[in-house]
């Protein structure tokens, strides 16, 4: 049997992990802030549920203006003094500031849009925000946007609200920018950042974060030092543009003497990858690809060592990696290889049974993932030139959005503050060179701002872009933060940003 001292020590550690780091001498008012976060729990959960009820879906024209206005109201309610909707040629952005009279400033990026959903695929209505038990995890909220990204963003705003409710001065000033087109690769977000007022405010910040729920099932977190870029586009083959084949669907018997736009597209797609059906084969595609450095490989190796290959494969529903590669090699490839992916293929009749038509049009939905030092414009230009060179210049290349990759120095003030916050909270941590997923961080890390940028946040969730998306609200695992713990970790992070900045100035 364990001694009473051991039991008490274990209990204290579990409590620290459940609620965030312990106060430091330089953290005035922290206990009041923590108490305010806990007192606000039920209201905060309800705010998240209400936000989930209002989905902004960029590619479907749903709630563009309403989503922006709601985002503006949320940040004002949380304590930001000034907030405005910023018009763009597409979905509006939102810009806000909170001047705490502090010496240092942190910027925060939000997205208020979500992916579309098919209600019939969900266990509960996707806009209801129902709380259910998740075995081995605790109580979770099910809803579109729960983890990507409204849940973590609500936790961050809850931390800001708590400072206001507790009458405690924020340790840093805040600059806030949000967009409603992240899920379609942010085609108009650069217009928000180019706004002179927005840019001037961001230039004062020491870095920018996007809130996230980043803990694994065993409580570990990976700090990402970058992300791949992304380009979303459609390749369209039509009899009208090609000058061959029909300009509408016709009887399939005519395939004997009429060209097929669908097969034309298939032939074009086949040139984009090598015989393995995997490796990009677009002319010059790897010309500007920057190999991983020795340090980046070291970070990835440490992250892989802390991971679990079997769990990863189970979540992905796979039994092997490309070319039967080992776990580490597969993760090197995940970080360093740019990709050409077919999201979907649409042509002709796709209902029950057959219809025996020769389609007059075929479309492939494509996404490109880019690594340093590739750019969006370079990738699109090379794709178009590649197709034209092979006799497919008639195929339309419609780019709907995109941006380049992002990278941040591990020695930046922002990353150092993230590391210190997790160390104080006793949350195990690794770093990795970059995420294989994407967000428009390049608008911050690239010129002219050249800021440090990263994803940060505790807690857990899953199902982003999928049915039954969820966010952990009450954790049954003392190693993983619940919703209140997420909010407390953000409060501690704000204290740590101020403390790290002060150290850097000495």
Q: Does residue 68 carry a pLDDT above 80?
A: yes
Rounded Cα distance between 247 and 256, Å, is 17
Q: Does residue 123 carry a pLDDT above 60?
A: yes
In the numeric block, which tokens belong to residue 289?
């690809």
Among 366, 347, 365, 348, which Cα is nearest to 356's? 348
Q: What is the mean pLDDT of residues 35-64?
A: 97
Percent of the chain with pLDDT over 90: 92
CATH number of 229-289+338-403: 3.30.70.360
Among 506, 504, 493, which Cα is nearest to 171's? 493
At 311, is the pLDDT very low, low, confident or very high (cuts 50, 70, 90)?
confident
Q: Tell me, which fold does domain 16-227+406-505 have in CATH? A: Aminopeptidase (3.40.630)
Q: What is the DSSP letter of 215?
A: B
Rounded Cα distance between 102 and 172, Å, is 5
Q: Does residue 20 carry a pLDDT above 90?
A: no
Q: What is the pLDDT of residue 25?
A: 56
In the chain, where the domains are located: 16-227+406-505, 229-289+338-403
Q: Does residue 15 carry a pLDDT above 80?
A: no
Q: What is the mean pLDDT of residues 235-257?
A: 97
pLDDT digits (tens, 9 = 90+) for 335-380: 999 999 999 999 999 999 999 999 999 999 999 999 999 999 999 9
Rounded Cα distance between 92 and 215, Å, is 31
Q: What is the pLDDT of residue 506?
A: 80
The reply to whether 16-227+406-505 and 229-289+338-403 are identical in fold is no
Q: Does residue 396 carry a pLDDT above 80?
A: yes
pLDDT digits (tens, 9 = 90+) for 476-490: 999 999 999 999 999
Q: What is the mean pLDDT of residues 266-295?
A: 97
Mean pLDDT in the chain?
94
Considering only 27-31, 269-273, 456-460, which range has the smallest mean pLDDT?
27-31
Do β-strands 406-407 and 361-370 pair in parallel, antiparallel, or remain unpaired? unpaired
State how far the alpha carbon of 398 is from the alpha carbons of 18, 180, 364, 383, in Å: 48, 20, 11, 11
Q: What is the pLDDT of residue 40?
A: 98
Q: What is the pLDDT of residue 279?
A: 97
* Separation of CA 221 from chain center: 15
Q: Is the dihedral of CA 343, 349, 351, 355 positive or negative?
A: negative
Q: Does residue 6 carry a pLDDT above 60?
A: no
Q: What is the pLDDT of residue 13?
A: 39
Decide: residue 464, CB within 10 A, 0-12 exposed, 13-18 middle, 19+ buried: middle
At 315, is the pLDDT very low, low, confident or very high (cuts 50, 70, 90)?
confident
Q: What is the mean pLDDT of residues 411-423?
A: 97
Q: Does residue 286 carry a pLDDT above 70?
A: yes
Q: What is the pLDDT of residue 26?
A: 59
Q: Quick check: 226 and 406 in contact, CB under 8 A?
A: yes
Q: What is the mean pLDDT of residues 102-108?
A: 98
pLDDT digits (tens, 9 = 90+) for 155-214: 999 999 999 999 999 999 999 999 999 999 999 999 999 999 999 999 999 999 999 999
Q: What is the pLDDT of residue 164?
A: 97
Considering only 9-18, 112-121, 350-359, 487-496, which range has the smallest mean pLDDT?
9-18
Percent of the chain with pLDDT over 70: 95
Question: Which pTM does this prediction carry?
Answer: 0.90
Q: Which residues contact 439 (CB under 8 A, 6 or more apart)?
A: 109, 182, 210, 227, 406, 455
């Amino acid at each position: 049997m364990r001694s009473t001292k051991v039991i008490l020590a274990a209990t204290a550690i579990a409590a620290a992990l459940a609620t965030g780091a312990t106060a430091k001498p330089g953290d005035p008012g922290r206990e009041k802030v923590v108490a305010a976060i806990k007192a606000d729990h039920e209201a905060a959960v309800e705010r998240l549920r209400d936000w989930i009820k209002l989905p902004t879906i960029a590619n479907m024209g749903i709630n563009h203006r309403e989503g922006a206005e709601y985002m503006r109201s949320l940040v004002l309610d949380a304590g930001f003094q000034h907030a405005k909707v910023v018009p763009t040629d597409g979905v509006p952005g939102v810009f806000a500031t909170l001047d705490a009279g502090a010496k240092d400033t942190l910027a925060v990026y939000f997205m208020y849009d979500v992916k579309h959903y098919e209600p019939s695929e969900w266990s509960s209505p996707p806009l209801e925000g129902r709380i259910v038990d998740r075995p081995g995890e605790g109580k979770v909220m099910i809803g579109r946007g729960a983890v990507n990204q409204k849940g973590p963003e609500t936790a961050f705003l809850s931390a800001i609200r708590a400072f206001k409710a507790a009458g405690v001065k924020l340790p840093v000033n805040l600059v806030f920018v949000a967009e409603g087109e992240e899920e379609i690769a942010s085609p108009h977000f650069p217009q928000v950042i180019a706004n002179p007022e927005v840019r001037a405010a961001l230039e004062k910040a020491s870095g920018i974060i996007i809130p996230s729920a980043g803990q694994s099932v065993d409580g570990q977190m990976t700090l990402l030092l970058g992300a791949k870029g992304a380009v979303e586009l459609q390749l369209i083959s039509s009899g009208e543009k090609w000058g061959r084949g029909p300009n509408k669907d016709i009887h399939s018997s005519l395939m004997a003497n009429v060209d097929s736009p669908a097969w034309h597209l298939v032939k074009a797609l086949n040139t984009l990858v090598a015989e393995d059906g995997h490796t990009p084969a677009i002319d010059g595609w790897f010309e500007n690809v920057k190999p991983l450095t020795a340090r980046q490989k070291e970070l990835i190796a440490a992250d892989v060592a802390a991971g679990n290959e079997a769990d990863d494969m189970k979540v992905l529903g796979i039994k092997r990696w490309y070319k039967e590669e080992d776990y580490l090699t597969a993760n090197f490839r995940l970080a360093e290889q740019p990709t050409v992916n077919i999201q979907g293929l649409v042509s002709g009749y796709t209902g029950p049974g057959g219809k025996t038509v020769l389609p007059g049009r075929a479309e492939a939905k494509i996404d490109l993932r880019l690594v340093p030092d590739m750019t969006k414009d370079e990738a699109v230009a090379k794709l178009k030139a590649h197709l034209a060179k092979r006799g497919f210049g008639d195929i339309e290349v419609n780019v709907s959005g995109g941006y380049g990759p992002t990278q941040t120095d591990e020695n930046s003030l922002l990353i150092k503050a993230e590391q210190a916050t997790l160390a104080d909270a006793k949350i195990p941590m690794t770093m990795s060179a970059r995420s294989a997923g994407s967000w428009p961080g390049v608008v911050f890390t690239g010129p002219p701002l050249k800021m440090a940028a990263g994803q940060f946040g505790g807690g857990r969730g899953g199902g982003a872009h999928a049915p039954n998306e969820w966010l952990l609200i009450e954790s049954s695992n003392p190693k993983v933060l619940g919703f209140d713990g997420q909010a407390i970790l953000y409060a501690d992070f704000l204290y740590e940003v101020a403390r790290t900045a002060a150290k850097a100035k000495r």
